[in-house]
A and B are shown apart, each in its own frame.
Chain A
Amino acid sequence: MRRLINYAGLVAAYVRLNFSAQLEYRAAFVSQVVAMFVNDFFWVGFWILYFTRFPVLRGWDVRDVITVWAVATAGFGIAYAVFGNAWQLAALIVRGELDGWMLYPRALLPHMLLGRTVATALGDALFGYAVYVYFVRPDAAHLGLFAVLTLTTAVLFVGFGVLTGSLAFYLGNSASLSEQWRFAMVTFSTYPATVFQGLVKIVLFTAIPALFINLYPVEALRNLSLGDTGIATLGALAVLVVGTAVFHHGLRRYESGNLVAMRE
């Protein structure tokens, strides 16, 4: 418990530092946050257009798809606003930039992930909550469950970022491949789960675990179901555990970049 509280303090300190750094270029930061908010809004606009023409898609309506978008964007935003280095782990490994992080008297992975924030991620997080509150108009119980599910989704995105980024230990410069894999995950998780049938569902439970974002959270919020919430949570934790295991296995193959650098 003490270790958890200690780590929470570290997270808070890094979040404060990272956002202070972003605010040094205030206009750029604000413009990126606003642009991502607008970007997400256009995607929801597409779905509103789609459901205006075709009101129901195998039992899903526009509220369900907005819920998918709210959960996915808020979870993604929280993940990479706080643990921004998970987004560019492959590049850090290839450039030999883990060296500096290894010198700290902290566990490497959870510390290093905090070292950066993705500016646009805050726009995603704000969008997710705003669109859910505005369009779905939840009561307190639904809003509370939504907050929990955005956290499980954030855990999943962090785990997935670590998993795909760790490919670089085995494949060398795999930044492009891990980027494509992450984009596939983001894309699949923002479409209604009902669209996918057959063998592809196995892929969406394993290699691209999008169903823990676009299926179980929606079911959980529809029925206030603890069972579906539990499956979403277990799925997210499984991805985090696998990602962490692959990272530590790959770390044995890591070679120092022999970089001479200084961190403030």
Chain B
Amino acid sequence: MNRVTKYLYVGYTAVRSNLAYFGEVLARVLFLGVVLYIFLQLWRLTYSETGAEQLGGFTLAQMLWYLAITESIVLSAPQMTLEIDADVRTGAIAVHLLRPLSYPLYRLWTTLGERAVRFAVNLAVASGVALVFVGPIPISAKGLAIFACAVPLAFVLDFTAYFVIGLSAFWLENTTGLTLIYSRVAMIFGGMLLPMELFPERLKRAVEWLPFASVVYGPARLFIHPDAAFLGGLLVRQAIAAGLLAVFAAAVYAAAVRRIHAHGG
């Protein structure tokens, strides 16, 4: 196997592994349905109280579809930091280092494989819920293609952030706190609950250049309002953020590996 195909195979294995436990994946989407139902009620009331047809450029139907996409993205994140934490704590990471695989790339492709399955299931369920509650919105093949282009780099960018948090297990007793804080920051500043068009202007200007918006808001906005120019800008922001975070992750990983002491056995 050459250097690329072995990682593709790692990703493919992660996909198959998740499909083997499809019932477990499905059980998790019940929560997604509950959340979307609550948001529908909240936004239906908000639109009726304000008497507005559109808020921040979104109709009620578009708002629910936007939230369906953001929820699908955020809730598809695997609990990768827990696995890295366990690898570090149990010493299993030393075994990984013996394999002819880069540990960061192994983690990247495993996460992408797992996330692909979760995202597809979330998207299917969330679309079903949105269709039932508010009906369809205009979607073209070109629009779907633009949306599809925005998702992969968003997942890679999110991975690099979670990977750095997972590696902090080399220095911290527990990484669950950092993981929780990151996911909440991504949720609020990423626009999962509220599109950025509805943020106060100063806050919007401050957070639209942060990586969280490139992971959550950017792809979801493109689903509602497909726009090639916006996609171009988003891809550039995603690539810059992922590149910078990858350099940082590489430095943290190098420092972490120097702390590993293997004693045979």
Report which A residues bind B (CB closer than 8 A). Answer: 25, 27-28, 31-32, 34-36, 38-39, 42-43, 45-46, 49-50, 52-54, 56-58, 176-177, 180, 183-184, 187-188, 191, 194-197, 200
Contacts and interface: CB of A to CB of B under 8 A. Distances in A.
A56 B46 CA distance: 9
Contacts of B178: 31, 35
Contacts of B187: 42
Given A32-B176, A49-B200, A196 B41 contact: yes
A27 B180 contact: no
Interface in B3-52: 24, 27-28, 30-31, 34-35, 38, 41-42, 45-46, 49-50
B38 A188 contact: yes
Interface in B57-92: none
A72 to B, nearest CB: 14
B264 interface: no
Interface of chain B, main secondary structure:
helix
B174 A46 contact: no
Nearest to B30: A180
Contact of A42 (B30, B31, B188): B188
A191 B38 contact: yes
Interface stretch (B142-150, B191-199, B222-230, B243-251): B191-199
A25 B30 CA distance: 35
A52 to B, nearest CB: 6
Nearest to B50: A54
A34 B185 CA distance: 14
Given A38-B184, A177-B27, A184-B34, A54 B174 contact: no
A39 B172 CA distance: 19
Contacts of B27: 176-177, 180
Question: Quick one: which of A27, A58, A184, A194 has the most chain B CB within 10 A?
Answer: A184
The bracket for how many chain B residues form the interface is 20 to 34
Contacts of B180: 35-36, 38-39
Given A31-B177, A36-B180, 10 more contacts: A25-B174, A35-B177, A35-B178, A39-B184, A42-B184, A53-B200, A56-B49, A180-B28, A188-B34, A195-B45
A160 to B, nearest CB: 15
Contacts of A50: 194
A54 B31 contact: no
Nearest to B41: A195
Contacts of A195: 38, 41-42, 45
6 contacts: A28-B173, A42-B187, A46-B193, A183-B31, A195-B41, A195-B45
Interface of chain A, main secondary structure:
helix
A34 B180 CA distance: 10
Given A180-B31, A187-B34, A187-B38, A27 B174 contact: yes
Given A49-B194, A50-B194, A195-B41, A32 B174 contact: yes
Given A35-B180, A46-B188, A54-B46, A187 B35 contact: yes
A176 B188 CA distance: 27
Interface in B149-200: 172-174, 176-178, 180-181, 184-185, 187-188, 193-194, 198-200
A25 B175 CA distance: 13
Given A31-B173, A180-B31, A57 B49 contact: yes
Question: Quick one: which of B35, B181, B185 has the most chain A CB within 10 A?
Answer: B181
B45 A57 contact: yes
A31 B34 contact: no
Given A39-B181, A42-B187, A184-B34, A27 B24 contact: no
Interface in B126-140: none
Nearest to B200: A52
Nearest to A181: B30
4 shortest interchain CB distances as A-B pairs: A35-B177, A28-B174, A28-B173, A31-B177
Nearest to B35: A187
Contact of B181 (A38, A43, A53, A56): A38
Contacts of A27: 172-174
Given A28-B173, A35-B177, A49 B199 contact: yes
Contacts of A194: 45
Nearest to B176: A32
A48 B184 CA distance: 15
Contacts of A191: 38, 42
B222 to A, nearest CB: 23
Contacts of A176: 24, 27-28
Contacts of A42: 184-185, 187-188
